[in-house]
């Protein structure tokens, strides 16, 4: 069975970016000339998925508007002869089939996945967070999809943890399966290096069978009184085979907090063909002053 749908949770309040995030979704924070969530959508499309389910809430209307057609803007660009810009904004609306779902239920990152159940249907699906994306060859989602298609088992992506990541990430409890692929027994949230069952950290990409939905329905609040997707995945491991794949040639950009967001912006600005050299010169002048 092939995966044809991806769920992108994007309903959080973005408290780390207040007061900005009162009006602007954190997933819409600009990275170079695109919002962060567009990089996530593009990765899905590059991995062969065209049905994108974005789970939003009342203050995330800007995401829906961004991926829609804008007739007045298109008319003005056409009238002004700005063909490149016109092509660019049309491509945003046409890159995928977008389905928007409002989140309903208790607080926690498992809730948007459960809210997508009717749109997903009785088939496997991918989950990627709207404020994290990877630069990877091949795309990290495609790496996971290939494992799913071969073994028809749910898949969690992982990267070797280092230093403070043992205190910040869920660490996979695993046993060997195939080179670079492991059988997942569970995910231990932020255990620290001494109690970590392995050095493989779970990193925000999941390919899940529909068996996750009954588990999500019965899931009770865990850490901080929230319902967590990793808790549901750990329960899924007790019902059916779940695999963890170690991502290759992948660099994570997590724009969910201020420091990582600004690091990401600088990285992309330095790579920009139009302003990269000027930005490098500017940063050097600041460091030397």
**Long-range Cβ pairs for the range 60-64 (8 Å, 24+):** 60/10, 60/11, 60/25, 60/27, 62/24, 62/25, 62/28, 63/10, 63/25, 63/27, 63/28, 63/37, 63/100, 63/130, 64/98, 64/100
Q: pLDDT tens digits for 173-195?
A: 999 999 999 999 999 988 898 89
| Mean pLDDT for all residues in the chain | 92
Residue ranges of domains in the chain: 5-256
Task: Give pTM, 2 decimals.
Answer: 0.93
How far is Cα 139 from Cα 247, in angstroms, rounded to an integer? 9
CATH class of segment(s) 5-256? alpha beta
As a whole number, mean pLDDT of residues 231-258 equals 93
Q: pLDDT tens digits for 190-220?
A: 889 889 999 999 988 999 999 999 999 999 8
Q: pLDDT grade, residue 105 (50/70/90)?
A: confident
Q: pLDDT grade, residue 43 (50/70/90)?
A: very high
- Residue 224: pLDDT over 80: no
- The predicted pLDDT at position 113 comes to 96
- The predicted pLDDT at position 173 comes to 94
- Residue 121: pLDDT over 90: yes
């Amino acid at each position: 069975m092939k995966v044809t749908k991806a769920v992108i949770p994007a309903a959080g309040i973005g408290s780390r970016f207040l007061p900005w995030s009162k009006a602007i979704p954190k997933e819409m924070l600009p990275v170079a000339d695109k919002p962060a969530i567009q990089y996530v959508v593009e990765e899905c499309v590059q991995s062969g998925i065209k049905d994108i389910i974005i789970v939003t809430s009342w203050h995330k209307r800007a995401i829906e508007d961004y991926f829609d057609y804008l007739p007045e803007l298109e008319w003005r660009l056409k009238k002004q002869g700005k063909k490149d810009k016109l092509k660019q904004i049309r491509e945003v609306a046409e890159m995928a089939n977008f389905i928007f779902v409002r989140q309903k239920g208790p607080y926690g990152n498992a809730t948007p996945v459960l809210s997508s159940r009717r749109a997903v249907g009785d088939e496997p699906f991918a989950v990627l967070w709207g404020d994290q994306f990877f630069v990877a060859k091949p795309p990290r989602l495609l790496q996971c999809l290939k494992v799913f298609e071969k073994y028809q088992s749910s898949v969690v992506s992982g990267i070797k943890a280092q230093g403070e990541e043992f205190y910040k990430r869920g660490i996979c409890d695993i046993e060997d399966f195939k080179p670079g692929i492991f059988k997942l027994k569970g995910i231990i949230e932020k255990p620290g290096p001494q109690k970590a069952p392995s050095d493989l950290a779970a990193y925000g990409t999941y390919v899940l069978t529909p068996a996750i939905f009954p588990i999500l329905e019965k899931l009770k609040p865990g850490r901080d009184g929230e319902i967590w997707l990793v808790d549901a995945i750990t329960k899924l491991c007790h019902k059916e085979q779940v695999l963890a794949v170690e991502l290759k040639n992948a660099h994570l950009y997590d724009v969910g907090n201020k420091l990582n967001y600004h690091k990401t912006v600088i990285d992309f600005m330095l790579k920009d063909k139009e302003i990269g050299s000027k930005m490098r010169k500017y940063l050097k002048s600041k460091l030397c002053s």
